[in-house]
Amino acid sequence: MTRYGLFIDSTKCINCHVCTLSCKDEFVDNDHTPFSVSQPDTGHFWINVIYQQRGGYPNVELSYLPTPCMHCDNPPCMAAYPDAIYKRPDGIVIVDPTVSTDRGIVDSCPYGTIYWNEDLGIGQKCTMCVHRVEEGVGPKCVLGCPVDAIIFGDLDDPNSTVSKMIRERMAEPLHPEWGAEPKVFYIGAPTPTVAGYLMDNSTKLDVEDITVTLTNLLTGETVMAKSDHAGNFRFEGLENGRTYTVRVEAPGYYPRMRLVYVRRDGFRHIGTWRMLPKLFPK
């Protein structure tokens, strides 16, 4: 079987929006019946580049997340609107433009990828460029991306580029806990994170290659990381709304420990940790 999907490397994305414009070029004033009718030239972002700023000065992170329809294998939109939304054998999920006339259809997608067309009175979304796929050419946004941040292909073919990228880069879908089984896989999407920087208090130099231990106070689960050449350490893929202990124990230094609560935007940078050298190291 063929089952189409996407691999998106958000670390490559430069927020240029060429993908969004490519989609508009393909769909505005173009009718691709029976899969889609013209996309409005404003207000619709069938692939939306979500901009996220996390943390606070001077430790701020920016990320860009290109977000089309996820063409889910268990789509909540289709469960809510079985007469208006269908899934093709190749996995592409289509909103039928002739019957998607209930405005509530917009809210049936937990990923927020269905848009309302005021002029036509219908819901619309990314079609994975099915009309192009049927002609053997890939989606227009994939073609347009100048840095190849989006890769399209057959997820059921283990030798396809998209399958290899997902496997080798350990890409993951957004919000798998929602149970929709999305077919768009990401690397570099922001996850709840704790980060910090280690500095020798005497020399003011970065402290590299030091083990930092992070423990989830609720579950007791412990993970470790090493500070890099610039003294930075980082733990990703944590849980929001949880308290962690961060502990640094390094030969020649007094140990340090503190509690960190991960919440709000899911990014806690605990700033510079000044490592105090022991006066009489053993």
Per-residue tokens: 197: 């920087």
Closest to 100 (Cα-Cα) out of 129, 73, 121: 121
Burial 23-43 (b: 16+ CB within 10 A, else e): bbebbeeeebeebbbbbbeee
Binding test (CB under 6 A) with ligand SF4, winner from 145, 162, 174, 198:
145
For ligand SF4, the closer of residues 10 and 163 by Cβ is 10
Amino acid of residue 223: V
Class of residue 95 by CB neighbours under 10 A (exposed 0-12, middle 13-18, buried 19+): buried
Task: Write the binding mask 99 to 138 for ligand SF4: x where contact by CB under 6 A, - elsewhere.
Answer: ----------x-x-xx----------xxxxx---------
Burial 191-220 (b: 16+ CB within 10 A, else e): ebbbbbbbbbeeeeebbeebebbbbbeeee
- Check binding of 139 to ligand SF4 (CB under 6 A): yes
- Check binding of 173 to ligand SF4 (CB under 6 A): no
Minimum Å distance from CB 55 to ligand SF4?
A: 21
For ligand SF4, the closer of residues 109 and 248 by Cβ is 109
Class of residue 100 by CB neighbours under 10 A (exposed 0-12, middle 13-18, buried 19+): buried
**Given the rule CB under 6 A, which of 143-151, 153-161, 219-227, 242-250 is the region that contacts ligand SF4?**
143-151
**Given the rule CB under 6 A, which of 45-53, 185-193, 206-214, 260-268 is the region that contacts ligand SF4?**
45-53
Interface contacts to ligand SF4, rule CB under 6 A: 13-19, 22-23, 26, 46-47, 49, 64, 66, 68-72, 75-77, 93, 109, 111, 113-114, 125-129, 139-141, 144-145, 147, 149-150, 180
